[in-house]
Each structure stands twice: as structure tokens, then as C-alpha cells.
């Protein structure tokens, strides 16, 4: 049985086939997190893009667990400079992790690492999402993204069981656009992410789920630390 746990912002852990992966670990920077970085035990770390609220804890988790970081090549190179084992891949490609397969999909966002001290911005490669397949289930992590028409293609090509969609607005889709994305992805269950961590992205997750239900789409709000099993 697959287990999925939400740890806030865009951080999820997927456990399948006796192993696990984490996507976009942002724990030490989130005061509402119910776990610590030291609590995380995984076999792989997947990154959607290079912003700090998605990569902050990637290198420490990777090194503590001897778990490779999977990311777009530019971000993988950056993480290797932090001493982590990395696997670079690109949009459209699929990586076999043995316990799960991860296909990198495109997202529409920005991606860079801001060096405040030296007033420099390091290019982080293209933003992305992931389609994860394991134990006969398909999980979509859309990454940080705005609405785009090719979500329809992703939904047509994959029988998605659970889709994690950003709803925070300001930096990503807001709830209205995320409802449209949910229609296009056609997932059996939609879970909102990337909201309420900062004032700029405060949203009502329950209202979003209600809007989904009005369209005949099943949604669920996961609290920080809460899990579902498939």
C-alpha cells in the first residue's frame, strides 16, 4: 500500500515498495512543520525547481540518507556543489528509481537561486513537475506553476490517482485557475499545496475543495503531517 504524507508548502513524502522519496523539502524554514529535517528518512529527493522554499533542506536530507537528488541538470549541478549525490534529468524524461518511476513534466514558473550577499542570481534551469508511478498508482506533483493548456495532455496521457496542485496565487495559480487545472488533469483526488506558508499566499483550502466538489471533482485538504494511503 502506498502512503503519502504532506509536510507543508510543497513538501510531500511518498512511501511505496518498502522505500520512499521526498519532493521539494522545505521543513526547517517552515515554522508550522510537524517534523524536523532529522526525522526524514528517504531513498531519493526530487526537486521541481530552484527556489529556496523548495530546495532548502534538499542537500542535508540527501547527505544524511545517502539519497540522490533528482533535478533538472542545472539544479542538479548546484546541489552536487553542496556535496550531494545527484541525478540530472530533463523535461519529458522518466527515471526508474527501482521502487518508483518519476517522469518530469513541464511547469510555467521561474527558477533561480538568489545570492543576496553578492547580489547575484544563479540560473536554476527550467521549472518542472513530476508524475510518479509506483504500486499501480500515479501521483502528480505539479510543481510551482501557472495555468497552461498542456495540462490537458498530461491528464489525457496519465490516469492520475492523486494530484497535488498549488493554490496560493501571487507566485503560482490561485484557487480559480487550480480548479480549471483539476478539470484538465482529471485526477481521482486533488490535494492543494503551496498556500498559507506566507502572508502573500494565504488561501482557504476548504473553500477550494468545495469549489472542486461543485464541479464534481473530489478534493481533500491535508493538514501538516497528515497522511493518506492508496
Domain boundaries, the chain: 3-229
Residues of the chain above pLDDT 90, percent: 100
Strands 128-134 and 101-106: antiparallel
Q: Which residues contact 191 (CB under 8 A, 6 or more apart)?
A: 6, 162, 163, 164, 165, 219, 220, 221, 222
Tell the burial category of 73 from Cβ atoms under 10 Å away from its Cβ (0-12, 13-18, 19+). Answer: middle
pLDDT in tens, 54-89: 999 999 999 999 999 999 999 999 999 999 999 999
> Would you state the cell numbers that stand for residue 104, as one nine-digit string?
518530469
Superfamily for 3-229? Ribonuclease Z/Hydroxyacylglutathione hydrolase-like (3.60.15.10)
Q: What is the rounded CA–CA span in Å between residue 93 and residue 86?
A: 16
Please state the length of the chain. 230
pLDDT score for 99: 98
Q: How confident is the model at residue 34 (pLDDT cuts 50, 70, 90)?
A: very high
pTM for the full predicted model: 0.98
- The alpha carbon torsion through 204, 210, 216, 220 (nearest 10 deg) reads 60
pLDDT score for 47: 98
Q: Cell 522505500 maps to which residue?
A: 19
Q: Cell 483550502 maps to which residue?
A: 205
Q: How confident is the model at residue 175 (pLDDT cuts 50, 70, 90)?
A: very high
Closest residue by Cα to residue 26 from 218, 201, 175 = 201
CA atoms within 13 A on the CB side of 127: 18
pLDDT score for 190: 98
Amino acid at each position: 500500500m502506498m502512503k503519502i504524507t504532506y509536510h507543508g508548502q510543497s513538501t510531500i513524502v511518498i512511501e511505496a515498495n518498502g522505500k520512499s522519496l521526498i519532493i521539494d523539502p522545505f521543513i526547517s524554514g517552515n515554522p508550522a512543520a510537524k517534523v524536523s529535517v532529522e526525522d526524514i528518512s528517504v531513498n531519493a529527493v526530487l526537486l521541481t525547481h530552484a527556489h529556496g522554499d523548495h530546495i532548502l533542506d534538499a542537500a542535508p536530507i540527501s547527505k544524511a540518507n545517502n539519497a540522490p537528488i533528482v533535478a533538472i541538470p542545472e539544479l542538479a549541478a548546484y546541489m552536487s556543489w553542496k556535496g550531494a549525490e545527484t541525478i540530472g534529468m530533463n523535461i519529458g524524461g522518466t527515471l526508474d528509481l527501482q521502487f518508483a518511476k518519476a517522469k518530469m513534466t513541464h511547469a510555467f514558473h521561474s527558477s533561480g537561486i538568489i545570492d543576496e550577499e553578492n547580489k547575484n542570481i544563479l540560473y536554476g534551469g527550467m521549472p518542472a513537475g513530476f508524475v510518479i508511478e509506483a504500486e499501480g498508482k500515479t501521483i502528480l506533483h505539479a510543481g510551482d506553476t501557472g495555468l497552461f493548456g498542456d495540462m490537458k495532455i498530461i491528464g489525457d496521457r496519465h490516469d492520475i490517482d492523486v494530484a497535488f496542485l498549488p493554490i496560493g496565487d501571487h507566485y503560482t495559480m490561485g484557487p480559480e485557475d487550480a480548479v480549471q487545472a483539476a478539470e484538465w488533469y482529471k485526477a481521482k483526488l486533488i490535494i492543494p499545496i503551496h498556500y498559507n506558508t506566507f502572508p502573500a499566499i494565504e488561501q482557504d483550502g476548504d473553500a477550494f475543495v468545495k469549489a472542486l466538489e461543485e464541479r464534481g471533482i473530489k478534493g481533500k485538504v491535508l493538514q501538516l503531517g497528515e497522511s493518506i494511503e492508496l
